[in-house]
Amino acid sequence: MAGPAFDDRDGVIWFDGHMVDWREAKVHVLTHAMHYASAVFEGERAYGGDIFKSTAHSERLKQSARLLDFDIPYSVAEIDAAKQMVLARSGLKDAYIRPLAWRGSEMMGVSAQANKIHLAIAVWEWPSYFNPAERLKGIRLDMARYRRPDPATAPCTSKAAGLYMICTISKHEAERKGYADALMLDWQGRVAECTGANVFFTKDGAIHTPTADCFLDGITRKTVIDLARARGFEVIERPIMPDEMEGFVECFITGTAAEVTPVAEIGPYKFTVGNMTKTLMEDYMEAVTPKKNAA
């Protein structure tokens, strides 16, 4: 993602109810979120000026915060409106939207119940998450060293900043080896997800995907499942062991940033970029593209 540093760009960011200059959207070094990961966020895309499933993302943002024991002081409708306002001010039609909520700096320590809760929303241009040429032929995934934790040890259904620490480590390790990303197992050694996307496989005309019981049940994941079933594809959500990957034919990942991206390789396992994957790629892009009003 080449371009200027993210703290040195033109534009505005919605910050606690006000539009502020992009370069002035700052927090103090003793902000609780920086020390104790008390922050939640969303990743959203706009297509043709419309934010895809904006309300679903705003609802999840609010729920993520509740799971971290704080309440965002804006309603879902207010968050939706703020996102649309920032998008309009950006002048972009196709863009990435990043709402972020966090605990402030009033108290420093594990307990921070009196801290102010902040919300900021930024919008920028962000094309395909992966190299476009590589994406079309299928990306290569490494096997991650770290695993998704037992849901009894972390709020795994929250899109919480702290849960992405092992994702950054795993993606860095994968990229140093020449891979695009990494596949993570869960705490029981079963297939879970990639560092920022859910994973699907095909076999015997059916689609198989891990049960989202210790990782995020992505909004894109649910959208693609609905699209697949509308096509008449059988979708089976179940525990998947790593050695089962040898018997799968196709593989793809889904996420707001990744959209629907084919996978050609996971460690020693190889996959074909086949018709089911291509069909769902096309169906997803049709679903997110705003429909023009008939004349």
The answer to whether residues 160 and 230 belong to one domain is yes
Number of domains in the chain: 2
The mean predicted confidence, pLDDT, of the chain is 95
Domain assignment present for residue 6? The answer is no
Please determine, for residue 290, whether its predicted confidence score (pLDDT) is greater than 70. yes
CA distance 200 to 262: 10
* End-to-end Cα, the chain, rounded Å: 39
Please determine, for residue 294, whether its predicted confidence score (pLDDT) is greater than 50. no
Q: Which CATH number does the domain housing residue 197 bear?
A: 3.20.10.10
pLDDT bin (cut points 50, 70, 90) of residue 81 is very high
The answer to whether residues 97 and 188 belong to one domain is no
Q: Domain boundary residue among 124, 149, 179?
A: 124
Question: Rg of the chain's alpha carbons, rounded to an integer?
Answer: 19
The answer to whether residues 136 and 270 belong to one domain is yes
According to the model, what pLDDT value does residue 19 have? 98
Question: Which of the 8 DSSP states describes residue 153?
Answer: T
CA distance 108 to 31: 8
Give the predicted TM-score (pTM) of the model: 0.93
The answer to whether residues 156 and 260 belong to one domain is yes
The answer to whether residues 20 and 90 belong to one domain is yes
The answer to whether residues 38 and 137 belong to one domain is no
HSE, side-chain direction, 13 A CA sphere, residue 80: 14
Q: Are 262 and 281 contacting, i.e. CB atoms less than 8 angstroms apart?
A: yes
The answer to whether residues 167 and 27 belong to one domain is no
The answer to whether residues 236 and 214 belong to one domain is yes
CA distance 94 to 128: 11
The answer to whether residues 145 and 247 belong to one domain is yes
User: Residue 178: what are its φ and ψ, rounded to 5°?
Assistant: 95, 5
How many Cβ atoms from other residues are within 10 Å of residue 73's Cβ? Answer: 14
The answer to whether residues 58 and 139 belong to one domain is no
Structural domain boundaries enclosing 170: 132-288
How many Cβ atoms from other residues are within 10 Å of residue 107's Cβ? Answer: 15
Joined together, the tokens standing for residue 205 give 């005309």
The answer to whether residues 61 and 37 belong to one domain is yes
Residue-wise burial string across 231-256, b where 16 or more C-beta atoms lie within 10 A, e elsewhere: eebebeeeebeeebbeebebbbbbbb
According to the model, what pLDDT value does residue 176 have? 98
Q: Domain boundary residue among 87, 104, 124?
A: 124
Q: List, for residues 45-78, the tens digit of each pLDDT value.
A: 999 999 999 999 999 999 999 999 999 999 999 9
The answer to whether residues 118 and 138 belong to one domain is no
The residue from 159, 203, 222, 291 that is catalytic is: 159
Q: List, for residues 201-210, the tens digit of each pLDDT value.
A: 999 999 999 9
Quick check: is 270 catalytic?
no
